[in-house]
Amino acid sequence: MNISLEKIDLENISELKVSYEEGYSRITNYLNILVIKYAGVYGVGSGGNSDATFMFAKAAFAIAAIEPFAIIIDLTDLKYVWGDQLEMIFNIQKPMALIVGEHCQEAIGTLIHGIESIEPPTTISWIFDNLEDAWNYLENEIEKQAQ
């Protein structure tokens, strides 16, 4: 039998960079919040499909490994113009907050509110433009669940 295998590196499906940080709630110091930060240029339209898959897989891996109570997805260093597959990362089954930056805020707004919308994404309760507000939102969610 002649089997031909080729080595693959899953890190090469996207040029995006991902980093992780973890902190603990000030309300209940045993509940952790994982911050997943993405940086780089997200491909436009279907050119971003592999980026979305990469982002989702990296988030799923971190969630399985760290088992956080809540997640903050930080897109402040992501340049994103369009591509609806990015919505994959919004489907995390944990309390979640999203941080948008200047290079993705408008496009995230149209992804959330519709292609013709000029409404910013930060009108949604779980989307913010800074870490402090996102953290406070999740701490309020923790406080609600602790009652």
Q: What is the pLDDT of residues 52-70, one digit of tens each?
A: 999 999 999 999 999 999 9
Going from N- to C-terminal start, the domains of the chain cover: 14-146
Q: CA-to-CA distance for 99 and 75, rounded, in angstroms? A: 6
Task: Tell me the CATH architecture of domain 14-146.
Answer: 2-Layer Sandwich (3.30)
- Residue 147 pLDDT level (bands cut at 50, 70, 90): low
Q: Which amino acid is at 99?
A: I
pTM for this entry: 0.92
Share of the chain above pLDDT 70, in %: 99
Mean pLDDT of the residues in the chain: 94
* pLDDT for residue 146: 67
Total residues found in the chain within this entry: 147
Question: Mean pLDDT throughout 136-143?
Answer: 93
